[in-house]
Structure 1
Amino acid sequence: MADPDVFEVRFYVNRRTKPANPFHFHGKGSLTIERDFVILRSRSHRTFRMPAHEEHRLRMVDIVNVHTDGQGVWFDVQGVKGDQTVGFDVGDEAQADRILALLPRRLTDEFAIAHAERLIFHDRIDHWTPSTPAIWALLAVNIAVFVLMWLDQSGHGSAIEQSQKLVRWGSNAGQQTLHGQWWRLVTSMFLHGSVLHIAFNMFALLQVGRLVERMFGSLRFFGLYMLSGVSGSLASVMWNPHVNSVGASGAIFGIIGGLLAFIGRENSGVPATVVKDLRGSLALFLLFNIGAGFVYPHTDNAAHLGGLIGGYLAGHLLARSLHVPGQNQS
């Protein structure tokens, strides 16, 4: 009998951007592939109890839908009580490909269709917009402005002094904006009040913006960002004429609004599987962040909703078809 293949892997619990597993494994572990079984070993995360080393043996005949994404590996396990999805990371793509070759290549009909549609979608955005220069430019400008404002030693004292400093730098200060300084609708988009504020916004921009830029194209995406940000600033000052608002969150919500408009159009070139995936993830993002805006003080929900609506309308104007000439148009 040939020696089993053993791989070092890393497990994650309930991660949005990493492969999760149903066994509550967390951290380093191992994957052993035998002729008839796959054996997973790691420490099991248990609430209010110490982690415990556990082992799960999976029958090879029950494994279907094996696929990889870079260093991530996923597969489904068909069982009497329903299917389970198992995922983990390995050291590099070569190891992931090796595991893919050793596990069964059986695909369920539903998975085969969904997997093919996701591949078609990525082929299309690779064709039209293989890189994302606009996102990196926007990140650079936002961070540079924040650093320059931080180097300005005035306004490092009380909250009132900090507020006055933001006004000097171009915040959306209601009385000034409504009395002719309309440029504040734009400049306020690139100002942030704290390290936490800019860190959260830039992380959100990077997470959602790269995909949206590749769907719209860089120039159209930049237009979507600016129109959404101005819509958010305008909604903020119209809702509260005494507002003193800063931040890119209105533009970020607008990017999401534009994405919703894009995937809602007929003949967009976004396959049905991807539309379903995106709607589910965007709904959770919007519910969480809008809900949090009503709980946490100093959150400008008017800017968020104004940016979302403005981005949705702009998205209909700026969206394009992702269909590639000569490619399957499904």
Structure 2
Amino acid sequence: MAGLHAFNVRFHLGGRNWPTNPYGLQGDGSVAIEPDFVIIGGRNHSSFRLAKWADHRIRMVDIVNVRTEGPDLRFDVIGVKGNMTVGFTLADSAEARRLAALLPTRQTEEFARAYAEREAFHDRIDYWSPSTPVIWGLLTLNIGIYFLMWLARRGQYGISLQTMPGWGWSSPVDAMIRSYQLAHWGANVGPLTLGGEWWRLVSSMFLHGSLLHIAFNMLALWQVGTLVERIFGSTRFLALYMIAGVCGSLASVLWNPHVNSVGASGAIFGILGGLLAFIRRENSGVPPTIVKELRASTLPFLLFNLTAGFLYPHTDNAAHLGGLVGGFVAGHLLARSLHVPERTAA
């Protein structure tokens, strides 16, 4: 492809975190920069026919809102065929910035406002909470306890009963062994908890019944909790996590007095409840653009998982709802302002 500047890129068809393009291009391709045009080329996978190479010319005057995120580059195209977003991945961040410098710097008013608000939000959480020690501590504690329980099962019952570390499916004998072990290690067993062993409301938050169970919970905790810890601050976030988790355990045992429940999901739902409480407060320091984005991602997640919980018989939805409500209330009580105090000259 001819051009004053040429770049090797990679196109993606879909995915929430991948830059996409409206032309159906996928795989290795190229971008060439000419004085008045950008020419992107790649293999078209939009039909059932064999993929074939296609070039698309975009006028420079129609390109706005160029932005990079690591090696990914995106820009919007406005003009004759309506608005669209074109994105692709380059070799590295430096290459993405080099290409971005060759593209127009024009920004729409809406994009400029949203970009400024995102920058302000990240500056604020960087100022108040540059790191997330509580999240890493919780991940280490949950995974460490699960590993210790697996080692205990191997040592007590022999490898023949534990050929896998509890993937989520197992023999009836192994399932019974793990159920007894969870009760011994502190599961929220209704008769025991209501019989005076209230510490199980806390201990059950750090136990998991299978590898799939802990994998899903820890992934959700990391994805959601990292941002929420930075918004609340580590100490307040830990309080939010514990309050929500206990509320989830309490709701579980009150809803079903014969429950045998474990897992961090009640606390995770509480983190989301706390986030929703935080962003609805006036003068929270979370800009409108970020509030809109957080609501758009949080509410569907909650709706999907609560609906799935009612459909799947082994899901403890009482713990989810209890954690969500507890986290929402605690979020109101623990919330702080993210506004950065003005620095005075010395």
- 1:4 corresponds in structure 2 to 4
Residue 326 of structure 1 and its aligned partner are, at CA, apart by: 1.7
For the structure 1 residues 93 and 163, does the alpha-carbon distance in structure 2 shift closer, same or farther, using more than 3 Å as the test? same
Letter of the 1:42 counterpart: G
Distance 1:294 1:62 in 2: 49
Relative to structure 1, the CA distance from residue 251 to residue 70 in structure 2 (aligned partners, 3 Å threshold; closer, same or farther) is: same
In the TM superposition, residue 26 of structure 1 has moved relative to its aligned partner by 3.0
| Partner deviation per Cα, 1:206-247 (whole Å, 9 max, x = no partner) | 111111111111111111111111111111111111111111
Paired with 2:192 and 2:57, the residues of 1 have a C-alpha distance of 67
**Closer/same/farther in 2, CA of residues 311 and 45 from structure 1, 3 Å limit:** farther
Which runs of structure 2 are paired with 1:317-328 in the superposition (5 Å)?
A: 317-326=333-342
How far is 1:47 from its partner? 6.9
How many aligned residue pairs are there?
326
**8 Å CA contact 2:73, 2:87 repeated in 1:** yes
Partners of 1:6 and 1:252 in 2: CA distance: 46
Provide the residue aligned with 2:235 in structure 1: 219
Q: Decide which moves more: 192-201 or 159-168.
A: 159-168
Match of 2:290 among 261, 270, 274: 274
SS in 2 for 1:15: coil
In the alignment, which residue of structure 2 is the partner of 1:232?
248
Q: CA deviation at 1:51?
A: 4.3
Structure-2 change in CA distance of 1:169 and 1:291 (3 Å) = same
TM-score in terms of structure 2 length: 0.89
* Aligned counterparts of 2:105 and 2:291: Cα–Cα separation in 1: 26
In structure 1, the partner of 2:166 is none
1:263 matched to 2:279: yes
Query: Separation in 2 of the partners of 1:49 and 1:245?
Result: 52
Counterpart in 2 of 1:102? 102
Preserved contact between residue 11 and residue 87 of structure 2 (Cα < 8 Å): yes
Extract unaligned runs of 5+ from structure 1.
none
Is the partner of 2:270 in helix, strand or coil? Answer: helix
Report the 3-state secondary structure (helix = DSSP H, G, I; strand = E; otherwise coil) of the residue aligned with 2:130.
Answer: coil
> Cα deviations across residues 82-135 of structure 1 (Å, max 9, x unaligned)?
211122222222112112101110000111111101100001001111111111
Partner SS, residue 80 of structure 1:
coil
Question: Does 2:196 correspond to 1:166?
Answer: no
1:192 equivalenced with 2:208 (yes/no)? yes
Q: Describe the shift of the 1:81–1:291 C-alpha distance in structure 2 as closer, same or farther (beyond 3 A).
A: farther
Question: Which letter maps to 1:103?
Answer: L
Cα-Cα RMSD: 1.8
Q: 1:265 to 1:102 in 2, by over 3 A?
A: same
1:25–1:302 Cα change, 3 Å: farther
Q: SS in structure 2 opposite 1:209?
A: helix
**For residue 40 of structure 2, what is the aligned residue in structure 1?**
40
Deviation at 1:11, TM superposition (A): 2.6
Q: Per the alignment, in what secondary structure is the counterpart of residue 101 of structure 2?
A: helix
TM-score w.r.t. length of structure 1: 0.93
1:246 is matched with: 262
Match of 1:309 in 2: 325
Deviates more, 1:311-320 or 1:155-164: 155-164
Once the two structures are TM-superposed, the CA of residue 54 in structure 1 deviates from its matched residue by 3.2
Aligned residues of 2:208 and 2:263 also touching (Cα < 8 A): yes
CA contact (8 A) 2:245 2:266 kept: yes
Deviation at 1:265, TM superposition (A): 0.3
Q: How does 1:126-205 map to 2 (within 5 A)?
A: 126-153=126-153, 154=157, 156=162, 157-205=173-221
The Cα of 1:50 is off from its aligned counterpart by 5.0
Letter in 2 for 1:168: H
Corresponding residue number in structure 2 for 1:13 = 13
SS of the equivalent of 1:31 reads strand
AA matched with 1:314: A
Amino acid at match of 2:78: Q
- Range moving further from structure 2, 23-32 or 84-93: 23-32
Report if aligned partners of 2:3, 2:32 keep a CA contact under 8 Å in 1: no
- The runs of at least 4 aligned residues of structure 1 exceeding 6 Å deviation read none
1:291 corresponding residue in structure 2? 307
Work out the CA distance in 1 between the residues paired with 2:313 and 2:251: 18
Shift of the alpha carbon at 1:36?
1.7
Moved more, 16-25 or 61-70: 16-25
What do residues 140-177 of structure 1 show as CA deviations (whole Å, max 9, x unaligned)? 11110111111112484332222112111111111111
